[in-house]
Structures are given as C-alpha cells and as structure tokens.
Amino acid sequence: MSEFKMLINGQLVDAISGKTMDVVNPANGKFVASVPCAGEEDVDLAVKAAQKAFPAWRKTYVADRVNLVLKLAAKMREHAEELAVLETLHYGGPISKTRVFDANGGPGNLEFVAGLARGLTGHTISANPNARIMTFCEPMGVVGLITPWNFPMCTATSKLGPALVTGNCVVLKPASCAPLTILKIGEYAKEVGFPDGVINIVTGPGSTVGEAIVKHPGVAKINFTGDSAVGKRIMQLASEHVKPVASELGGKNAFVVMNDAPFDGAIEAGVYAAFFNSGQNCGSPSRFYVQEEIYDKYLEKFIEKAKAITVGDTMDPKTMMGPLAYPACRDNAEKAVAKAIADGCVLRLGGERPNTPETKDGAYVMPTVLEATDNSLDIMQEEIFAPVVAFYKFKEDREAIDLVNESRYGLCASVWTTDYRKGMKITDEFDCGTSWINQHLEIVPETPWGGRKESGWTKENSMLVFNEYTWQKHVWMCMDDEPHTFWENFLKD
C-alpha cells in the first residue's frame, strides 16, 4: 500500500505532530494503511493557505476553473480501479459496487457541475425604470467540507465540484475510518495543476480536526454530511461566528406499499434499497408500511428475496453485501435488534453475524427483518444505518401518511401504487425532501437531494447546489443624470 499524505498549500505533508492513525479493513479487521492524524495547527495552516489562494482563484475565468475540475475527473477515471479497490478496503463496499457505482459516480459528480457552471447567471430586476438592478453569484471564500464514510468518494466530489467551480477554496476533512480515496484525489489535484491552496485535505478525528474547521474564523461556511447528533454540534459551534451550515443528516425513511402496488417491482426495489451498501445510506428505507390485504404475501416474498443476498468477501465480484464500516456500527445494529425484540417485535430474518472463514473477523450484520407492534418503538423511529428493517401493517391511506410523518426525520419516502393520481396525493402530504412513486433510492446528479426536520437543510446536486456555495450580491445602478433621494418625494407640495 502506498504512502498517504495530506494536501496543504499544494504540498503533500504529514501532520505537524508526526502522529498517524490506522485505517482498518472492516471486512476482516486487518490493517490497510496509516494516514496523518492532524491537529488544530494543521487545520490553521490549511485555512490560511486557502485564504491566501482565494483572491486569485475567485478571479480565475470560470472556463479555466471548469477545465481543472474536468482534468481532475479524467485523472480519477484513469485510476478507476485503484480508487475502487481503496474504497472497498477502507469502508467495506463490495468491489462489484465500488467499481460500478463509486469509481463512476465520483468523477461523474465533477463532470456534472463542470458542465453547468459556465451557464451560471445572476438576475436583473425591473423594480425601477430609472435604474439597472442586478444580482451576482459570488463565491463565499473558504468552505469547510466534512464528509462521511458510507460513500466516501461520491459524497466528497458532490461537494468539492460545486465549491471549486463557483470560485471557492476548500478545506476538506474525510471520515477518519475512510480517508484513502480522498487523499488520492488530493494527489491527483496536485498532478493536474490546481493552484496551491485551492484544495486542502486534512485527516483526523472529528472531535479535533472537524471542530477546528468549524470554529476557524477564516472558514466562511460549513457543508456537512453525517448523523443528526454531530450536525447539531456543528451548528452550535458555527453559531458563535454566525456561520452558515449546509447539513445533510440522518433519515428514518419509509417505504409504503399499497394494495394495488406493482408487486414484483415493489419487492425487487424494496430489498435493493434496504440492503444496498449494507443499509448504510441516508436514503435507504428502514420502515416498511404495507397495506393489510397484501401484507403477509409481501413480507414473505421480501424475506425470500433478502435470503438470496450474497454476504461475503468484499473483493469477490459475486458478493452483494459487505460489512458495516467499523465494528461499533455492527454493535449498535445488534443492540437495536435486541431492543426491538425486547419491545415485542418479531424477528423474521437475520439478527446474527455470518460465521464463515471470510466474514468471521469482520463487522458484518446479515440482512435483518422484524415485524413491529407499534410505530412509536425505537426500531420505527431511530436511525440504525445498517441492513435492518421493520415492517408494520396499515389499513387506510390516511393512516399510512400519518405513520410516515410520525418521525423527527424528513429525508425521503416512497409510495408504491398503480394509481398515480392516488400516489401524487399521498406524496403531496409526505413531510420530507424527496418523495418517489414506484421508485426508491434513485438519486442522480441532475435532481436535488436534501431533507427537512432533523434530516437537515441543504440541497445537494442539481442546479440548486450552487446556492450552497455562493452569496447573492445585489447591485443597484442609478441611470438618472442627477441622482435623487426619497426626501424629494416627502417634501413635494
């Protein structure tokens, strides 16, 4: 395994303290690599480098910024296999998934915003015929990006791309357990010619490095993806400087199956959405509401399909589901299942660790299905972030809507029905950022992504993402030969 360094001011560096931290493969508990363990001094250097680079970078032609972002995307595609392997090794996604999804999605995010950026415009406002009133999109300055471990590369590039093309400089902190692909992106950025200080990448614990980025007075905005508890902590710290925070947080997402659902599609999509990436997806459904007439049939077919999921060696292309990102995730999932059973839920599938030679030392949880007895139970309300789902039976449409909305989260939900008029009426009442009809987990760069309530507030992807990285500046230009004041209006006879 190659040596991994941070990127600060255009240089690949170790932490000032010389400290490192180990990255461990969650599939087998084996050492993968050491990376620098930064501290507040390293963050300060990174922020100051970004501040120094900002005046020139913001005045760079958009086409030149876009071309560098496209070169970075091309470099990532050139090293697609290396990135896919690293992604598998440091967070446990099966190689069949990281080769197709991550190795394409990472550079794809950069290519998407690069294509849009040259068309980014302001507005003119016709409030006064004697003036020219305009708005301009201006970069914020130094943006702090704090990214998660469940989709390390894709989430980082979904933030990095729009921040850069709009003229911001960046200090990026990847997840401590899964920083390898992000550090590689730092190497590629240096190779393709990004000016010193425009991109800075620091690695270390969130409690020190993450908080240092949030509190630093030189950082204009924070963009964070992660769990709601950490998101609240970041907002609290950022409030000391009245610093804006874009937050894409947790979810407890619903999958609603009506009696008239397209049955086979609802089975296929339900199992895929629930267990893709081992359930470590903020958009994954973990509470299934099924109308009573088809409840038993749907549950049995769902369990049958879930049993066919291949759990195993993440480097085997036939493996469909790998481990959780680290042992504590597995332990939390097991505690949640035990609590659900103690609360009276019925375990219908899973709940145990696989015990094969290739999985016995990893952070694995088998696909797990429970039947819940009450919508207020923790299994129906608390995010687990694991391949664990709970089923609940409902009678009427109104009941399904109320069950979905009885959550402090509001990220996404889906409804499955062949009556699209009914589907639209139901999704209109879902209190969440994304609603699907006969689909779940379809998230593409062209469509906005973000939630409500404790799922945070931001919009990743689409044209709306540029709002997260720009200020709207208003300019009023008087066209009168002799400018006047409103006093003249008041003093008229």
Each residue's pLDDT tens digit, 335-364: 999 999 999 999 999 999 998 999 999 999
Q: Is the pLDDT of residue 256 over 60?
A: yes
Span 387-394, average pLDDT: 98
Confidence of residue 428 (pLDDT cuts 50, 70, 90): very high
Cα→Cα distances 122→118, 164, 183, 467, 490, Å: 12, 18, 35, 11, 33
pLDDT at residue 490 in the model:
67
188-197, 200-209, 324-333, 483-492: which range is least confident on average? 483-492
Which is higher by pLDDT, 486 or 46?
46
Would you state the pLDDT for residue 320? Answer: 97
Task: Give yes or no for residue 206 having a pLDDT over 90.
Answer: yes
Region 386-403: mean pLDDT is: 98
Beta bridge partners of 389: 369
Q: Which domains does the chain have, with CATH numbers?
A: 6-249+456-475 (3.40.605.10), 253-437 (3.40.309.10)
Q: Is the dihedral of CA 321, 92, 81, 171 positive or negative?
A: positive
What DSSP letter does each residue of 77-97 carry, written as one string? HHTHHHHHHHHHHHH---HHH
Segment 10-44, tens digit of pLDDT: 999 999 999 999 999 999 999 999 999 999 999 99
pLDDT higher than 90, residue 425:
yes
- At 1, the pLDDT band (50, 70, 90 cuts) reads low
Coil, strand or helix at 460: strand
**Reduced to 3 states, what is the DSSP secondary structure of residue 54?**
helix
Mean pLDDT of 140-169: 98
CA 305 to chain centre: 27
Q: What are the structure tokens assigned to 17, written together?
A: 């303290």
pLDDT of res. 46:
99
483: pLDDT strictly greater than 90: no
Q: Work out the percent of the chain whose per-residue pLDDT is above 90.
A: 95
Give the per-residue pLDDT at 481: 83
> What is the C-alpha to C-alpha distance for residues 205 and 222, in angstroms, rounded to an integer?
17
Predicted pLDDT of residue 488: 67
**pLDDT tier, 3 (very low <50, low <70, confident <90, very high otherwise):** confident
R_g over Cα of the chain: 24
Q: Mean pLDDT across the stretch 4-8?
A: 98
In this predicted structure, which of 143-152, 293-302, 395-404, 480-489 has the lowest mean pLDDT?
Answer: 480-489
Residue 78 sits at the vertex; the CA angle it makes with 75 and 80, to the nearest 5 degrees, is 105
CA 39 to chain centre: 25
pLDDT above 60 for 493: no
Instruction: Report the chain's mean pLDDT, rounded to a whole number.
Output: 96
Q: Would you say residue 281 has pLDDT above 80?
A: yes
Q: Which residues are catalytic?
A: 248, 282
Confidence (pLDDT) at 484: 72
Higher pLDDT among residues 387 and 482, named by residue? 387
Amino acid of residue 424: M
